[in-house]
Each structure stands twice: as C-alpha cells, then as structure tokens.
Amino acid sequence: MPIEYIATQQAPAAIGPYSQAVRAGDFLFFSGQIPLDPATGEIVGKDAEGQSRQVLTNIQAVLGAAGLDFGKVVKTTVYLTDMRDFEVINRVYGEYFGVAAPARATVQVAALPKQVLIEIEGIAYAGV
C-alpha cells in the first residue's frame, strides 16, 4: 500500500515530529489541528468559537491539499480543555460539516499544546 505525506503552507506547520496528514491506501489520516495562524504561528481566537473556526479552517486546508473536503471525513476526535465549551464548538462544527457529519468522539483533556482550548484530528475517505 503506497503512503503519501501531505503538507501545505495553508495550514500551520507541524510543531513536532509528525505530518499534517498521511494518505494510506484509501484513507487520509489528518493530525490534530489547533487554532494557529499558518502564516504567523500565533493562536487565533481568544474564545472557543474563534478557536474552533480556525481549527476547522486549518483542517479544510489540509483536506484541500489532499484533494478532499469535509464531505469525505468519516471520523473525528475533538479534544476540549473545558466541556462547558461543547455547545459553542458543536454549533461551529455543524456549520462546517452540515447534516452529513462524520462519526465523532469528544473528550475533555487536562491541557493542549500552547494552552489552546480545542484540537481536532480525523480520518477521511480518499478512495474513488
């Protein structure tokens, strides 16, 4: 099975030894995105809504670099530092995914890189 590493300057560069996404066979595995501006590396948004929008914009860029869109995403995991942000994040997430949303898990964690409020990783179907 061929493996392809996906990278785009339209999403933040990895802040560690990992790829933005990896295509393995018919699936694309995209690494957790946090709300960083791809140009500056700075955190975008001071609240859950603003940070969620930037995370999803970054995911959109990674998917686009692989020739995919949100309609191909089959599974995500959402990491929150405060479950009280769930409703706000859920609303923003719904704007990007619509009614054909992927399977998802949402968990609260003690902390995330750079003290952000949200991180999302996932899997997309990249077959024909």
Label residue 2 by pLDDT band (50, 70, 90).
confident
Give residue 64's pLDDT.
98
Q: Is it the case that residue 5 has pLDDT exceeding 90?
A: yes
Q: Where are the domains of the chain?
A: 3-125
**Sheet with strand 3-6: strands edge to edge:** 3-6, 21-24, 27-33, 118-125, 73-80, 103-108
For 81-113, the pLDDT digits (tens) are 999 999 999 999 999 998 889 999 999 999 999
Specify the CATH number of the domain 3-125: 3.30.1330.40
pLDDT-based confidence at 27, cuts 50/70/90?
Answer: very high
What tens digit of pLDDT does each residue of 40-61 get?
999 999 999 999 999 999 999 9
